Amino acid sequence: MLKNNIIILIIISLLSACGTGEEKEITKINNPELVAVAFFNALYNEKDTQKAASVCAPKLASLILHYQSSKAVARHLFNMSYDHVEIKPDTSGVKIRKQFKNKAVITLYFNGYYQNEHLKDVKRLHLIQIDGGKWVIDKILKDPF
């Protein structure tokens, strides 16, 4: 009897592990810089608005899902288009951010290509910490330059 219960528990845990996809993994990141990078990576490199919206506050997620395609979101919300892009966070303010534990302003640097043209850009996002430490993008801040 005990042996059967152990086998059933192992099977259940294996089946539940199969259901956790990449989309759920992005919502488990508890570092605001990585959440911001994952958001833009989902939009520009993976072309997945659902995945991008999963790390946004409800109001911003609704706006992103309204546009339906990653190209529309990129064009209307960010005025940036990329075929492929590398995204890096500005890590110079990490110590300052730690002083404000539940809020963060993250600056991201974009380096990529659109129709064989090399493009660089900078964007800033405001993130907040909710429900047990989960970071979500709350606002898209005005262009810093």
- Assess contact for 67 and 77: CB atoms under 8 A: yes
How many Å apart are CA 39 and CA 20, to the nearest integer?
Answer: 18
| Average pLDDT of the residues of the chain | 81
More confident residue, 101 or 6: 101
- Assess contact for 110 and 43: CB atoms under 8 A: no
How many Å apart are CA 99 and CA 12, to the nearest integer?
Answer: 42
Q: Which residues does 54 contact at the CB level (< 8 Å), separation at least 6?
A: 23, 26, 27, 61
9 has a pLDDT exceeding 50:
no
- Assess contact for 103 and 129: CB atoms under 8 A: yes
* HSE value, Cβ hemisphere, 13 Å, CA-based, for 13: 6
Residue 39 pLDDT: 95
More confident residue, 22 or 125: 125
Residue 15 pLDDT: 40
pTM metric for this prediction: 0.76
pLDDT in tens, 55-110: 999 999 999 999 989 999 998 888 888 998 999 998 776 555 554 678 999 999 99
Does domain 32-140 correspond to CATH entry 1.10.238? no
Residue 4 pLDDT: 42
pLDDT in tens, 20-29: 444 457 767 7
Residue 102 pLDDT: 87
Can you give the residue ranges of every domain in the chain? 32-140
Residue 131 pLDDT: 79
DSSP states along 24-93: HHHTT---HHHHHHHHHHHHHTS--HHHHHTTB-HHHHHHHHHH-SHHHHIIIII----SEEEEEE--TT
Percent above pLDDT 70 for the chain: 75
139 has a pLDDT exceeding 50:
yes
